[in-house]
Amino acid sequence: SQQGEEDPQALSIQEGENATMNCSYKTSINNLQWYRQNSGRGLVHLILIRSNEREKHSGRLRVTLDTSKKSSSLLITASRAADTASYFCALDFYGNNRLAFGKGNQVVVIP
Amino acid sequence: DTAVSQTPKYLVTQMGNDKSIKCEQNLGHDTMYWYKQDSKKFLKIMFSYNNKELIINETVPNRFSPKSPDKAHLNLHINSLELGDSAVYFCASSPRTSGAYNEQFFGPGTRLTVL
Residue B100 pLDDT:
64
Of A33, A98, A103, the CB nearest to B41: A103
SS3 (DSSP) at B29 = coil
- The b-or-e profile of B39-63 (16+ CB within 10 A means b, else e) is eeebbebbbbbbeeeeebeeebeee
Asked if A43 lies within 8 A of B90 by C-beta distance, the reply is: yes
| Minimum distance, in Å, between the CA of residue B12 and any CA atom of chain A | 16
Q: Right CATH number for B4-114 from 2.60.40.10, 3.30.70.260, 2.60.40.1530, 2.40.50.430?
A: 2.60.40.10
Residue A22 pLDDT:
95
Domain positions in chain B are 4-114
Transcribe A4-24 into DSSP letters.
-EEE-SEEEEETTS-EEEEEE
Q: Is the pLDDT of residue A1 over 80?
A: no
| Minimum distance, in Å, between the CA of residue A30 and any CA atom of chain B | 6
Residue A2 pLDDT:
61
SS3 (DSSP) at A81 = helix
Residue B3 pLDDT:
93
Task: Please compute, for residue B18, the number of CA atoms within 13 A of its CA located in the half-sphere on the CB side.
Answer: 6
Q: Is the pLDDT of residue B89 over 90?
A: yes
Transcribe A22-80 into DSSP letters.
EEE-SS-EEEEEEEEE-TTS-EEEEEEEETT--EEEETTEEEEEETTTTEEEEEE-S--
Residue A74 pLDDT:
97
Total structural domains in chain A?
A: 1
Q: How many percent of chain B have pLDDT more than 90?
A: 79
| Minimum distance, in Å, between the CA of residue B96 and any CA atom of chain A | 9
Give chain B positions within 8 Å (CB) of A35: 104, 106
Using one digit for the tens of pLDDT, what is the confidence trace for B23-76? 999 999 999 999 999 998 899 999 999 988 898 888 889 999 999 999 999 999
Q: Is the pLDDT of residue A95 over 60?
A: yes
Q: Is the pLDDT of residue A86 over 80?
A: yes
Using one digit for the tens of pLDDT, what is the confidence trace for A30-81? 999 999 999 999 999 999 999 999 999 999 999 999 999 999 999 999 999 9
CATH assignment at residue A16: 2.60.40.10
**Where in the sequence is the domain holding A69, given as residue range(s)?**
5-110
